[in-house]
Amino acid sequence: MIYNKHSLDFGKKEKVLNYATQTYQLSRPNKVGAVMALIRDCQPKTIAEWEKWYFENTFTEAKTKTKITKESLEELGERLHEKITEVVIPEWQSAFS
Protein backbone atom coordinates (compact mmCIF):
# COMPACT_ATOMS: atom_id res chain seq x y z
CA MET A 1 0.00 0.00 0.00
CA ILE A 2 1.35 3.45 -0.92
CA TYR A 3 0.70 6.39 1.38
CA ASN A 4 0.90 10.00 0.34
CA LYS A 5 3.51 11.89 2.32
CA HIS A 6 1.79 14.83 4.01
CA SER A 7 4.63 16.23 6.07
CA LEU A 8 6.86 18.99 4.81
CA ASP A 9 10.54 18.40 4.17
CA PHE A 10 12.35 20.76 6.52
CA GLY A 11 15.79 19.55 5.44
CA LYS A 12 18.60 20.68 7.74
CA LYS A 13 16.18 22.86 9.69
CA GLU A 14 14.48 19.74 11.04
CA LYS A 15 17.35 19.15 13.48
CA VAL A 16 16.96 22.68 14.85
CA LEU A 17 13.19 22.26 15.10
CA ASN A 18 13.55 18.93 16.92
CA TYR A 19 16.22 20.31 19.25
CA ALA A 20 14.18 23.38 20.20
CA THR A 21 10.92 21.47 20.51
CA GLN A 22 12.52 18.91 22.84
CA THR A 23 14.61 21.41 24.80
CA TYR A 24 11.65 23.69 25.53
CA GLN A 25 9.19 20.77 25.83
CA LEU A 26 6.76 22.21 23.30
CA SER A 27 5.64 18.83 21.93
CA ARG A 28 4.93 17.15 25.27
CA PRO A 29 1.55 15.49 25.92
CA ASN A 30 0.76 18.26 28.42
CA LYS A 31 0.97 20.70 25.48
CA VAL A 32 -0.36 18.82 22.42
CA GLY A 33 -1.75 15.53 23.71
CA ALA A 34 -0.31 12.06 23.19
CA VAL A 35 -0.10 12.50 19.43
CA MET A 36 0.96 8.98 18.37
CA ALA A 37 -1.77 7.40 20.52
CA LEU A 38 -4.27 9.88 19.09
CA ILE A 39 -3.25 9.00 15.52
CA ARG A 40 -3.73 5.30 16.31
CA ASP A 41 -7.18 6.07 17.77
CA CYS A 42 -8.23 8.16 14.79
CA GLN A 43 -6.65 6.13 11.93
CA PRO A 44 -7.06 9.11 9.55
CA LYS A 45 -7.02 8.67 5.80
CA THR A 46 -6.42 12.37 5.06
CA ILE A 47 -4.87 15.38 6.74
CA ALA A 48 -8.26 17.08 6.79
CA GLU A 49 -9.79 14.07 8.57
CA TRP A 50 -6.96 14.12 11.12
CA GLU A 51 -7.23 17.87 11.80
CA LYS A 52 -11.00 17.70 12.28
CA TRP A 53 -10.75 14.71 14.63
CA TYR A 54 -7.77 16.14 16.54
CA PHE A 55 -9.42 19.48 17.29
CA GLU A 56 -12.72 17.82 18.24
CA ASN A 57 -11.22 15.17 20.54
CA THR A 58 -7.91 16.28 22.00
CA PHE A 59 -7.10 17.71 25.41
CA THR A 60 -3.74 18.32 27.03
CA GLU A 61 -2.54 15.70 29.48
CA ALA A 62 -1.76 18.29 32.14
CA LYS A 63 -3.17 18.20 35.68
CA THR A 64 -5.83 20.60 34.48
CA LYS A 65 -6.88 19.29 31.07
CA THR A 66 -7.32 21.97 28.42
CA LYS A 67 -8.98 21.65 25.01
CA ILE A 68 -6.43 21.91 22.23
CA THR A 69 -7.38 24.47 19.60
CA LYS A 70 -5.80 25.88 16.47
CA GLU A 71 -5.08 29.00 18.50
CA SER A 72 -3.27 27.05 21.21
CA LEU A 73 -1.11 25.31 18.60
CA GLU A 74 -0.40 28.64 16.89
CA GLU A 75 0.73 30.01 20.25
CA LEU A 76 3.11 27.04 20.66
CA GLY A 77 4.41 27.69 17.15
CA GLU A 78 5.04 31.32 18.02
CA ARG A 79 6.90 30.27 21.18
CA LEU A 80 8.97 27.78 19.15
CA HIS A 81 9.87 30.48 16.60
CA GLU A 82 10.79 32.87 19.39
CA LYS A 83 13.03 30.31 21.11
CA ILE A 84 14.77 29.41 17.85
CA THR A 85 15.38 32.98 16.71
CA GLU A 86 16.11 34.59 20.07
CA VAL A 87 17.88 31.78 21.94
CA VAL A 88 18.94 28.75 19.90
CA ILE A 89 20.44 30.47 16.84
CA PRO A 90 22.37 33.10 18.83
CA GLU A 91 23.67 30.41 21.24
CA TRP A 92 24.77 28.16 18.39
CA GLN A 93 26.38 31.03 16.47
CA SER A 94 28.29 32.02 19.58
CA ALA A 95 29.34 28.43 20.25
CA PHE A 96 30.67 27.90 16.74
CA SER A 97 32.32 31.28 16.13
User: Which pLDDT tens digit goes with each residue over 10-64?
Assistant: 788 888 888 999 999 988 988 888 888 999 999 999 989 999 999 999 998 888 8
Q: Residue 29: what pLDDT?
A: 87
**The pLDDT value given to residue 61:** 86
**Would you say residue 2 lies in a domain?**
no
Say how far apart CA 88 and CA 97 lie, in whole Å: 14
What is the model's pLDDT at position 13? 86
Looking at the domain assignment, is residue 5 inside a domain?
A: no
pLDDT at 90 over 80: yes
Distance CA 30, CA 11 (A): 27
Query: Is pLDDT of 1 > 60?
Result: no
Q: What is the model's pLDDT at position 88?
A: 94
Q: Domains in the chain: how many in total?
A: 1
Q: What DSSP designation does 26 have?
A: T
Name the residue range of residue 36's domain: 13-96
